[in-house]
Amino acid sequence: MTPQQLEDRQLETRVTALEAELSQVKKLLSSFPQTETFKHNWMKYAGVFKDDVDFLEIMQEIRAERDLDDESEVDPSYYS
């Protein structure tokens, strides 16, 4: 058997093994609920704060706090 024939045979064996494994994975996945029937529960809350002025104000305060260059809460001994 030539090296090329040996390589082809090994490749064929690997492809056969992968096809068998793929078949098992497909069988396993078929036991799960289909995506069409599964709804993401969190999606029903998407956009609930869209026009909420109070929420916008809170988010602006949080962003301002994050953007501060203040290191007063950093304990310098932690980095020593």
pTM (predicted TM-score): 0.40
Task: Report how far residue 20's alpha carbon sits from residue 14's, in angstroms, rounded to the nearest whole number.
Answer: 10
Interval 36-63: pLDDT, tens: 656 677 888 889 999 999 999 999 999 9
Give burial (CB, 10 Å; 0-12/13-18/19+) of 38: exposed
pLDDT at 36: 61
Task: Give the SS3 label for residue 48.
Answer: coil
Domain residue extents for the chain: 3-68
Where residue 26 falls among pLDDT bands split at 50, 70, 90? Answer: very high
